[in-house]
Amino acid sequence: MNRIAEPPVRRAPHAEPRLPTRSADAESLFRAVADNAPVLLWVTDTKGLSTFLNRRWLDFTGRTMPEELGWGWLEGVQPDDRDGSRNRTLEALRARQPFTIEFRLRRGDGQYRWMLGAGGTSGQPLT
Reported as a single tens digit per residue, the pLDDT across 29-50 is 888 888 888 888 888 888 888 9
Residue 88 sits at φ, ψ, to 5 deg, of: -65, -40
- Between CA 97 and CA 83 the distance in angstroms is 19
- Stated pTM of the model: 0.72
Question: What is the enclosing helix (H) or strand (E) of 102?
Answer: strand 99-106
pLDDT of residue 114: 97
67-118 pLDDT, tens per residue? 999 999 999 999 999 999 999 989 988 888 888 999 999 999 999 999 999 8
CATH topology of domain 39-119: Beta-Lactamase (3.30.450)
Domain boundaries, the chain: 39-119
Residue 101 sits at φ, ψ, to 5 deg, of: -140, 145
